Amino acid sequence: MTTTRVQDPTTTHPDYIADLIHESYAGPAWHGPCVVEALAGVDAEAATKRIAPHRHSIWELVLHLAHGRHLLIERLTNESIPPFPRPIKEPWWPASPADLSETAWLVDRDLLDDYQERLLAAIRAATPEQLARVPERSDTPIARQLVGMALHDTYHAGQIKLMALAAGV
């Protein structure tokens, strides 16, 4: 079954997209925990726990969310930006952190917050042409990818919250 995608002009407005991403990241979110709420009280020890072998940890999800923002900033602006400051093991997934100290955890939490602010600034400064552009090797306009980031955040916020509860947070 093929579905037709309808492009509603209100959903491609920069302020609307920025609000969605802000809500899923920092709240208040009607749908459940936002990313910031899900991470509340998570320390380095809890962030490194895995619910099962070969599953990502909370810390890896934090780096994944930061890297996703890095990629979308680059796609939105269509300019090269400085490389992501952590090693990348596969598309969209940075390598697991080597330093598992509390200080390193807080640095990576700050990295995610910083990329969130950069992404919101890039969205608010975006032109309609930037939001409508379909990047190479994609069939999805940037605006839709950004709305997808909000959905992606919601999905991972739920995962993080469940993992934090399993870790005793």
The pLDDT tens digits of the residues spanning 17-58 come to 999 999 999 999 888 899 999 999 999 999 999 988 889 999
Residue 95: inside a domain: yes
CATH value at residue 18:
1.20.120.450
Residue 1: inside a domain: no
Residue 132: inside a domain: yes
Residue 3: inside a domain: no
Residue 7: inside a domain: no
Mean pLDDT by 10 residues, the chain (169 residues): 52 87 93 94 96 93 98 92 94 93 98 98 94 89 94 96 93
> Which domain covers residue 69, as residue numbers?
12-166
Residue 5: inside a domain: no
The pairs formed by 100-108 with CB atoms below 8 angstroms and a separation of 24 or more are 100/44, 100/48, 100/59, 101/44, 102/43, 102/44, 104/44, 105/43, 105/44, 105/47, 105/59, 108/59, 108/62, 108/63, 108/66
pTM listed for this prediction:
0.91
